[in-house]
């Protein structure tokens, strides 16, 4: 059973905070940008020839982060479950953005998948299925962040890096881990050989 009604959660957030970092449940635009910086560091140096899929793209903020740095991938595709976010992301990025349920829909093939924050409201089982889906659809790897800690009641899903290292082993992936940039956050790249 889902941790919460994702549609209602994000529609309420969008109504309260608008098209901002808080509208997609980040504490601030600064912490959102820091997470993006860490994720970018886990991707290849040159994105210009790569197809990148942003799973749970929200308002397309990761693309906008890359564009401000003149660091856009050869092809960017955003996926999000929420139609209002898809519409905003299309308008803001000018890129192809699709309404998609990563847990249940067939995913397009890309060189890399990236995800910032979209798994934080899923159950542990849903999170692992999301990771498996994105990793399987990637040619080279999946780069993502999660909240670090012990899971408990409430809206958010917490994970431990050591558990994700076990999942990496199960998937036959090599992993790169980044911690310490925020107290309760970690980022990981699962890479294919």
**Inter-residue contact 96 to 15 (CB < 8 Å):** no
Q: Reduced to 3 states, what is the DSSP secondary structure of residue 135? A: helix
Domain ranges of the chain: 6-191
Give the CATH class of 6-191: alpha beta
- Kindly report the backbone phi and psi dihedral angles of residue 99, in degrees, each rounded to the nearest multiple of 5, phi listed first: -80, 125
Q: Per residue of the chain (193 residues), what is the pLDDT tens digit? A: 444 556 665 565 566 656 655 555 556 688 989 999 999 999 999 999 999 999 999 999 999 999 999 999 999 999 999 999 999 999 999 999 999 999 999 999 999 999 999 998 888 899 999 999 999 999 999 999 999 987 665 567 889 999 999 999 999 999 999 999 998 899 999 999 8
Instruction: Please report, for residues 131, 171, 183, the alpha-carbon distance to residue 128 in angstroms, rounded to integers and kept in the order given.
Output: 5, 11, 22
CA distance 138 to 114: 10
Confidence at residue 193, expressed as pLDDT on a 0 to 100 scale: 83
Confidence at residue 18, expressed as pLDDT on a 0 to 100 scale: 63
Q: pTM score, two decimals?
A: 0.86
CA distance 1 to 97: 27
Confidence at residue 27, expressed as pLDDT on a 0 to 100 scale: 63
Distance of CA 131 to the CA centre of its chain: 10
CA distance 58 to 36: 13
**Inter-residue contact 185 to 146 (CB < 8 Å):** yes
Confidence at residue 1, expressed as pLDDT on a 0 to 100 scale: 42
């Amino acid at each position: 059973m889902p941790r919460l009604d994702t549609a209602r959660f994000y529609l309420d957030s969008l109504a309260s905070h608008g098209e901002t970092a808080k509208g997609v449940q980040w504490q601030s635009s600064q912490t959102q940008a820091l997470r993006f910086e860490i994720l970018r560091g886990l991707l290849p140096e040159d994105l210009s020839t790569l197809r990148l899929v942003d799973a749970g793209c929200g308002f397309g903020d990761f693309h906008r982060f890359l564009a401000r740095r003149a660091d856009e991938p050869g092809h960017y595709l955003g996926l999000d479950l929420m139609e209002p976010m898809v519409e905003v992301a299309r308008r803001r990025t000018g890129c192809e953005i699709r309404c998609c349920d990563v847990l249940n829909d067939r995913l397009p093939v890309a060189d890399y998948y990236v995800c910032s924050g979209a798994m934080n409201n899923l159950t542990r089982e849903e999170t692992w299925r999301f990771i498996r889906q994105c990793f399987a659809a990637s040619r080279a790897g999946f780069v993502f962040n999660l909240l670090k800690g012990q899971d408990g009641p409430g809206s958010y899903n917490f994970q431990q890096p050591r558990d994700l290292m076990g999942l990496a082993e199960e998937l036959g992936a090599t992993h790169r881990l980044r911690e310490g940039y925020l107290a309760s956050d970690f980022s990981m790249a699962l890479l294919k050989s």
